[in-house]
Amino acid sequence: VKRLILVLGDQLTPDVRALREGNRETDVVVMAEVGAEATYVDHHPKKIAFLFSAMRHFAEELRRDGWDVRYTTLDDPENAGTIPAELLRRAAETGAREVLATEPGEFRLIEALEDCPIPVHQFEDDRFVATHAEFERWAEGRKELRMEWFYRDMRRKTGLLMEDGEPAGGKWNFDHDNRRRPPKTFRGARPMHFAPDGTTDDVLHLVHERFPSNHYAHGDFWFATSRGEARRALSHFVAKSLPEFGDYQDAMMRGEHFLNHAIVGLYLNAGLLGPLEVCRAAEEAWKAGEVPINAAEGFIRQIIGWREYVRGIYYMQGPGYALRNALGHERDVPAFYWSADTAMRCMSECVGQTMQTAYAHHIQRLMVLGNFALLAGVSPQGLQDWFMGAYADAYEWVMSANVIGMSQHADGGLMASKPYVSSGAYIDRMSDYCASCEYSVKAKTGEGACPFNLLYWHFLDRHRERFGNNPRMGNMYRTWDRMDDARRETVIREADEWLARLDRGERV
């Protein structure tokens, strides 16, 4: 009997579960570029172009491997517009009565497949180190979830950077060495660029016509769009950037969009690379003496530690997680998240590079874009939608725990024991942004005071009931309490005035 095998845009792996379960002699692969997936959030056109081009290249690969692939392009007049509707159309066309699917990375789509009039069997996606059951077993009965403990289990499970059952180099985590302040001249090797081929050109043209974004940039597309290219990008990173990746991992420099970051998250999350092949490449380079342990460990931890951990939380917590708003934050995402038009240099740099490249690194996301939103009381759901659209690597399974949990503390502390807030001083230490800002990072109040400084105290003050007794925040509250009353009043009044200007749509 003929069955359909659904392959989604982020399942571009030859041995993805549904393909393994299927039969290439009798089954038919369904892939579709659909309006519903391309518009459920305001995606960056480079994200859409990357996925469509990678999907088209992957479909060709499958055909070469002997699969019958029914591929629907976005501009196909028969295009039914959604994944379930495309499945029904292909079922009618082929006579198939059943669909094999790999579980999607978003509950929205999992539910749509469950509701599909034709039976869809959703197999667990096993392109990850930990299974759902394994994560749940690990999490069960723990009062607090902390990535570090989970990560050690994943090191033991994979054997990565392990020597006779002990962590290589005598420590599990070398992060202490990775938070150095960057020298002024710090640059980094740029990620490998790929010239668009004919397939990518077609897609770029289509995306330009159909998704004429008035904020995100279309031009200068250089992402890898096939597995072969993605592997070359990985090798390039390991050779050129990984040796220096560790030391200044958290640094931010004006006009330098990539520093020594790998820019493989989008390839990993779409399935062009697998987590273990990426980690083994880093481990091999360390074994060969080409990269120091702090760089290899820090990189591998992002993948088998953090990436697996946020995924585990998403599936364990269920669809309600993304709706949580423990701090009751309701402000709209400020307009400058789409325009970069703000006097705050850190924000204009991070938003501007996002608009340009569909990429920003973890500290730009967490300590600038996320930090500001948390301090200003922006809706976590609004912010999550923004992140989902802005970044080429974004899907809900990876974004929810990062944005709702880690960044916005909207899960009430499940993921992080204290909120990730900082004043301007942290940004100044890790970047060269403040030197060219219209605000002064040194000024705590008055004309030109850095908004991060004002809003930091505003945040602590308005959430005193929740955080006042948090031992990890004791120092912050003691500092606040030591200020005299008049000063505290000035800070709060100026922060309120600043927020009022933001709400009136003034340039801030």
What residues line the site for ligand DLZ (CB under 6 A)? 8-10, 32-34, 37-38, 43, 48, 51, 104-106, 109, 395
Task: State whether the Cα torsion 266-270-271-272 is positive or negative.
Answer: negative
Residue 44 or 463: the one with the smaller Cβ distance to ligand DLZ is 44
Shortest distance in whole angstroms from residue 477 CB to ligand SF4: 22
Cα distances from 366 to residues 404, 419, 420, 427, 463, in angstroms, run 11, 11, 8, 11, 20
DSSP letters spanning 299-359: HHIIIIIIIHHHHHHHHHH-GGGGG--TT---BPPPTHHHH--SS-HHHHHHHHHHHHHS-
Cβ nearer to ligand DLZ, comparing 54 with 495 = 54
Residue 433 interacts with which of ligand DLZ, ligand SF4, none, CB < 5 to 8 Å by class: ligand SF4
| CA nearest neighbour of 226 among 270, 172, 287 | 270
- Minimum separation from the CB atom of position 119 to ligand SF4 (A): 53
Query: CB 490: neighbour CB atoms within 10 A?
Result: 17
Rounded CA separation 400/106 (Å):
10
Please state the closest distance from residue 270 (CB atom) to ligand DLZ, in A: 8
CB 259 within 8 A of CB 186: yes
Residue 160 or 322 having the CB closest to ligand DLZ: 322
Length of the chain (residues): 508
Interacting partner of 182 out of ligand DLZ, ligand SF4, none (Cβ under 5 to 8 A depending on kind): none
- Convert residues 406-425 into a mask of x (bound to ligand SF4 by CB under 6 A) and - (unbound): ------------------x-
Is the CB of 10 or the CB of 247 nearer to ligand DLZ? Answer: 10
| Per CB under 6 A, 365 contacts ligand SF4 | no
Residues near ligand SF4 (CB under 6 A), total: 14
CA-based nearest residue to 437, from 450, 447, 446: 450
Give φ, ψ of 113 to 5 degrees.
-70, -35
Q: Which of residues 439-458 bind ligand SF4 (CB under 6 A)?
A: 439, 441, 450-452
The pairing of beta strand 99-102 with beta strand 120-123: parallel
**The one among 7, 303, 427, 476 contacting ligand SF4 by CB under 6 A:** 427
If contact means CB under 5 to 8 A according to the sort of partner, which of ligand SF4, ligand DLZ, none does residue 48 touch? ligand DLZ
CB of 502 to ligand SF4, least distance (A): 13
Rounded CA separation 352/465 (Å): 36
How far, in Å, CA of 55 to CA of 59, rounded? 6
Of 33, 103, 428, 494, which one interacts with ligand SF4 (CB under 6 A)?
Answer: 428
Closer CB to ligand SF4, 92 or 435, in the complex: 435
Q: Which does 345 bind (CB under 5 to 8 A by kind): ligand DLZ, ligand SF4, none?
A: ligand SF4
**4-6 and 68-72: which strand pairing?**
unpaired
Residue type, 19: L
> Which C-beta is closer to ligand DLZ: that of 128 or that of 439?
128
346 binds, among ligand SF4, ligand DLZ, none (CB under 5 to 8 A by kind): ligand SF4
Cα 275 from Cα 222, distance rounded (Å): 22
Q: Pick from ligand SF4, ligand DLZ, none: which does 437 bind, CB < 5 to 8 A by kind? A: ligand SF4
How far is residue 312 from each of residues 34, 129, 307, 318, 404, measured CA to CA in Å?
Answer: 28, 11, 9, 10, 14
Enter the tokens of residue 287.
């074994």
Phi then psi for residue 275, to 5 deg, are -60, -40
**Owner of token pair 């509950």:** 107
Considering the complex, state which of residue 8 and residue 421 has its C-beta at the smaller distance from ligand DLZ. Answer: 8
176 contacts: CB under 8 Å, gap ≥ 6: none
The token pair that represents 508 in the structure block: 């801030």
Q: Which does 43 bind (CB under 5 to 8 A by kind): ligand SF4, ligand DLZ, none?
A: ligand DLZ
424 binds, among ligand DLZ, ligand SF4, none (CB under 5 to 8 A by kind): ligand SF4
From the list ligand DLZ, ligand SF4, none, which binds 451 (C-beta under 5 to 8 Å, kind-based)?
ligand SF4
Q: Collapse the DSSP code of 414 into the 3-class scheme (helix H, G, I; strand E, B; otherwise coil) and give the result.
A: coil
Smallest gap from residue 395 Cβ to ligand DLZ (A):
4
Binding mask 318-357 for ligand SF4 (x = CB under 6 A): --------------------------xxx-----------
CB 456 within 8 A of CB 421: yes
Contact with ligand SF4 (CB under 6 A): which of 113, 366, 392, 434?
Answer: 434
Q: Which does 37 bind (CB under 5 to 8 A by kind): ligand SF4, ligand DLZ, none?
A: ligand DLZ
Min separation Cβ 449 and ligand SF4, Å: 9
Cβ distance to ligand DLZ smaller for residue 397 or 426? 397
What's the min distance (Å) between Cβ of 146 and ligand SF4? 29
d(Cα 303, Cα 470) in Å, to the nearest integer?
Answer: 30
Alpha carbon distance 70, 88 (integer Å): 13
> What is the smallest separation between the CB atom of 71 and ligand DLZ, expressed in angstroms?
10
344 binds, among ligand DLZ, ligand SF4, none (CB under 5 to 8 A by kind): ligand SF4
Task: Please report which residue ranges of 415-450 form alpha helices under DSSP H.
Answer: 424-430
Binding site for ligand SF4 (CB under 6 A): 344-346, 424, 427-428, 433-434, 437, 439, 441, 450-452
